Amino acid sequence: MTPKRLSIGPLPADLATELRNLTTNAQVSNLSPEGDNLNIEAPFTGETIGWVGTGSESDVDVAFEKARRAQRSWVHVPHAERKRIFLRFHDLIASRRELLADMVQLETGKNRTSAMDEVLDVMNNARYYAQRAEKILKPQRKRTPMFGVSSSRQYHQPLGVVGQISPWNYPLTLGISDAIPAFLAGNGVVAKPDSATPFTALLAFSLLFEAGLPRDLAQIVTGPGRVVGTAIAERCDYLMFTGSTKTGKILGETAGKRLIGYSAELGGKNPLLVAADANVDHSARDAIEACFSNSGQLCVSIERMYVARDVYEEFVSAFTNRVKAMTIGPGFDWNVHMGSLISQDQLRTVQRFVDDAVSKGATVVAGGKHRPDLGPYFYEPTVLTNVPEDADLRDAEVFGPVVYIDPVDDMVDAVARANDTAYGLNACIFAAPSTARQIAPLIQSGTVGINDGYMAAWTAVDNPMGGMKESGMSSRHGESGLLKYTAAQNVTEQRLMSVRGPEGLGRKAYSNILVNALRLGKTFRILP
């Protein structure tokens, strides 16, 4: 179907053409033509922009059959060729960046800056893993206690076909960046993009095929999570999931019963700490991005702040003034600070949390209103103070543009409050560097940013990033973000004599020799 003209103006020409191709030609996904269709809407206006097929269990079966067949060949492709493919993909992302950002905005309703963040992230991951994968996967010599008699190497074997279930809030980043190391490690991928944002993932995978990735190695099945997502979890050799803690636990049960590996980035109730020695203006400026990027719809977004009492009033004033100055609205230009929420359901959730807090005594110092004049799902960036302990949003994740601020007597109290949660995904500290470096290791969070909300840590792709407590397990980025898609293999060769010793030497005598050898190795540090 031809996408409708939106009330924000005609779609960019390239975007309209790509939507028609992805909708009518089904050029990327492999769904049977007999299935139902799923209409996709633009959050800016609520209008339908196209449709995709609704996958079934049989579609997932076919996807895994194709991916497994392709993976058996892909595993023998030299690292140099894999590298060339993903560096070409990097360049294609760069050259199509405007189209990709348009598609992300159209499907999610986010502002331009947040959309371009996704483009840059995919380029960053593609470059990093393309250049590093061969070295990470290279067989490594390992030490043995029988020096000169045994030699041992560690190999990393691909697992087979990885299942990937990605959410709507970052459809480009989370739709492709986690798949990049899986492919480079020698695996195939069967992916399910969220039903609200399938076109971005389809476009990204089409660029992968253009870069030279074997067509059947990557399979995309669109449709509801309870059908397609469940079927993927029940068939894959490793499961990569990003989404809610509730769903993550369900999928974790499936992975556990099947004894397959599982990586999950889940929910968060992320804290921001402002110390008395912080630069208040810098803290207020950067806290805007920490709280309201992507309309607050990201797992690492800040939803609570603990500010030293000495600078509390100054910070609240500086921060709320900046929030009130933010521009919100639809559009593909760069001059909008915050876009729309994704859907009516998300809008209801945000409104419910704010209304509950206000009814129990919280003070709205900025925002707090639905803005239907801008579009159906727009909600103002909202700041609350005096939030009572029984307000739902004190502990539960809002996943929207809402943050509350509490004063604290000192950073000991701030750290205790930051850790008083079931989550542990992201945290940030605004303070003098010496102060922040002392505080950071005390916070129970997979990521801690110093004088930055989350972007610096997110872009540091050489450093693993994951969640503690109920915010997930395993991690993405870094060497572990690739090695998790492999099985470690121990290959050890024995030479000259048996591990049990020379045939003519008694067992007791040989045992005494080994004990003395191990003692010697400890003394001179020559053995593991």
Q: By the 8 A CB rule, do 118 and 172 touch?
A: yes
Task: Find how far residue 355's CA is from the centre of its chain.
Answer: 30
Q: By the 8 A CB rule, do 172 and 122 touch?
A: yes
- The Cβ-side half-sphere exposure at 374, using a 13 Å CA radius, reads 19
Look at the block and give the residue holding tokens 């024995």.
494
Continuous segment of H or E residues that includes residue 241 = strand 238-242
Q: Is 428 a catalytic residue?
A: no
Q: Is 265 a catalytic residue?
A: yes
Look at the block and give the residue holding tokens 């045992």.
511
Residue-wise burial string across 381-396, b where 16 or more C-beta atoms lie within 10 A, e elsewhere: bbbbbebeeebebbeb
What is the Cα–Cα distance from 83 to 276, expressed in whole angstroms? Answer: 48
Provide φ and ψ at 10, rounded to 5°: -65, 150
CB atoms within 10 A of CB 505: 13
Q: Radius of gyration of the chain from Cα atoms?
A: 26
For residue 379, which of 348, 358, 334 has the smallest C-alpha distance?
A: 348
Tokens (6 digits) for 60 = 């997932």
Residue-wise burial string across 83-120, b where 16 or more C-beta atoms lie within 10 A, e elsewhere: bebbebbbebbeebbbbbbbbbbbbbbbbbbbbbbbbb
Look at the block and give the residue holding tokens 């008694």.
506
Q: By the 8 A CB rule, do 156 and 488 touch?
A: yes
Q: By the 8 A CB rule, do 8 and 45 touch?
A: yes
- Catalytic residue (choose from 18, 41, 118, 299): 299
Continuous segment of H or E residues that includes residue 154 = strand 150-158
For residue 151, which of 162, 140, 159 has the smallest C-alpha distance?
A: 140
- Catalytic residue (choose from 41, 107, 118, 265): 265
For residue 300, which of 457, 405, 441, 484 has the smallest C-alpha distance?
A: 457
For residue 197, which of 43, 11, 30 has the smallest C-alpha distance?
A: 43
- Catalytic residues, by residue number, are 265, 299
